[in-house]
Amino acid sequence: MIIVTGGAGMIGSNIIKALNERGITDILVVDHLKNGRKFKNLVDLQIADYMDRDDFLAQIMAGDDFGSIDAIFHEGACSATTEWDGKYVMLNNYEYSKELLHYCLDREIPFLYASSAATYGETDTFIEEPQYEGALNVYGYSKQQFDNYVRRLWLDAEQHGETLSQITGFRYFNVYGPREQHKGSMASVAFHLNNQMNAGENPKLFAGSEHFKRDFVYVGDVAAVNLWFLEHGVSGIFNCGTGKAESFNEVAKAVIAF
């Protein structure tokens, strides 16, 4: 069985879709459907079971047996960069992630998790090393601290001559594509521009948009990267983007052309 936390979210549901395309359906989806609109992301997917996030975490913390687990994709988190309740964000993105990580380490289960490019802050150097990191919001800080926690585990294992089971973190850049309709203001620029076009409106961009650039990466590619790392058993913390920045103006032109 494969477990996908945040499985009803954008990236999680696209990972499940990619697994289904490989004939894998023995999947446990873990999510929190307080935002009921996310159910639409699961309708066309083949899964074995669904479990509420809180129930799942309670069983993880109790050390319950879920049977044979081939991997856990940990995509569940508070992903709002505008959320300033630090206690809430750290509990969801840091403390819960540590619990799940140690559950996997104790059982040698591959653990692939969502980090974020928000860990970098304002730097122009996107290298996966601490000296280039400096989060600007609580969300980015929670991801940065979990990455640092993982690094400390690797260092401790190395100093003791030990080898840990697979841990892979992905620093997602600006992900866009299908299954993000539930995200509201947190949806991608491409999503909002496309909705404006479908409503018969002209794309709305703020002044100076030609100067604001981001690395926009397609969610299908993000899912493929996740599966590649699982199949090859590679540990580490990696950037997950195209490596090329595009301006908001260029995105608008692409949406219009599409």
Catalytic residue IDs:
139, 183
Integer CA distances (angstroms), 15 to 21, 41, 91, in order: 10, 11, 24
User: How many CA atoms does the CB half-sphere of 166 hold within 13 Å?
Assistant: 18
Cβ atoms of 98 and 149 closer than 8 Å: yes
- What kind and span of H or E run contains 230? helix 219-232
Handedness of CA 31, 36, 39, 41 (dihedral sign): negative
DSSP state of 135: -
Amino acid occupying residue 245: A
Instruction: Mention every residue, 6+ apart, whose C-beta is less than 8 A from residue 75.
Output: 4, 5, 6, 7, 9, 11, 12, 15, 113, 114
Q: How far, in Å, CA of 54 to CA of 64, rounded?
A: 14
**Buried b or exposed e, range 147-166, using 16+ CB within 10 angstroms:** beebbebbeeeeeeeeebeb
DSSP string, 57-108: HHHHHHT---S---EEEE--S---TT---HHHHHIIIIIHHHHHHHHHHHHT
Torsion (CA) 106, 109, 113, 119 in degrees, nearest 10: 40
